[in-house]
Amino acid sequence: MTTRIHRGTLIVGPIVLSACLPSATGQPFYEAYYLYLDNYPSHRNTGWHENVQGIAHDDNHWFITQTDTIWKIPVGHDLNVSPSGAPGVVQRTLGDYPALSAYNHLGDIVHFEYGGIGYLVVPLEGQGVVPAITVLLSSDLAYVHHASLREQVKCGWCAVDPSGYLYSSEGQPTALLRYSVNWAQLPVSGVLQVELIGPQNLYNEVGAALQLHHMQGGEFSPSGELLYLVSGFFEDTDETAEGIHVF
């Protein structure tokens, strides 16, 4: 079954970027607005500054992915300073996970908590292999399990809504793919069970079919009412068409 996702209007002002979404009802008022503060850190060699793929957080830590590296950094650490060797910082590479030896690229990650357990959900790509999703424990970045996404050729990002449904897409999507995840069984069996539900077509503010290019990441608001997607690539992107999209 194919369902529809409609983009809201993104209004850019001098101070506040306002996502005005008349179709999204019930979300907390603050979710419809966000404030641009600054770039921080800016032009610093922080150790995680090259080939950054994604960022997520829980109440106490930042989680940052580079192409083949994952960082766990306490929120009290100044991100303007290299975290290498700092107290509480954990760094892992793909080489630390033998089960993931077929993959060479981490994507934009998301933190999700179920049953009191914090998980990191990480997209994976590799040369000549089917993309996959792996789940790590956010407590120590320990490997739990991974599952192939055979419906996809690319998997550079993922998002999980508050109900635990997983979303991802190809690199130039006209639709998102929605998956169910058996979170209740994961800590019992140690097996990540992911099943495709179906595509959700993308539409713009006036109901016309929408295609995004060079997908970079996605995140649900805490209520699950809003989905933020980021697309575009600095070398060959239409700057008037790509950027931050709010659905």
In this structure, of 19-33, 69-83, 199-213, the range with the lowest mean pLDDT score is: 19-33
- pLDDT at residue 27, as a whole number: 55
**Mean pLDDT computed over 149-172:** 96
pLDDT digits (tens, 9 = 90+) for 63-86: 999 999 999 999 999 888 888 888
pLDDT of residue 135: 98
Instruction: Tell whether the model's pLDDT for residue 22 goes beyond 80.
Output: no
Under the phi-then-psi rule, with left for phi > 0, alpha for psi from -120 to 50, and beta for the rest, what region is 85?
left
Q: Where are the beta strands (DSSP E) in the chain?
A: 3-6, 9-12, 16-20, 33-35, 52-57, 61-66, 69-74, 90-93, 105-106, 110-114, 117-125, 132-137, 143-148, 159-160, 166-168, 175-181, 194-203, 215-220, 227-231, 244-246
DSSP one-letter code for 32? G
Q: How confident is the model at residue 36 (pLDDT cuts 50, 70, 90)?
A: confident
Over residues 209-219, the pLDDT tens digits come to 999 999 999 99
> Which pLDDT value is given to residue 29?
58
pLDDT of residue 17: 34
Global pTM value: 0.87
Burial class of residue 101 in the structure, from the number of CB atoms within 10 Å of its CB (0-12 exposed, 13-18 middle, 19+ buried): exposed
Mean predicted confidence (pLDDT) in 210-235? 88
From start to end of 67-157, where are the E strands? Answer: 69-74, 90-93, 105-106, 110-114, 117-125, 132-137, 143-148
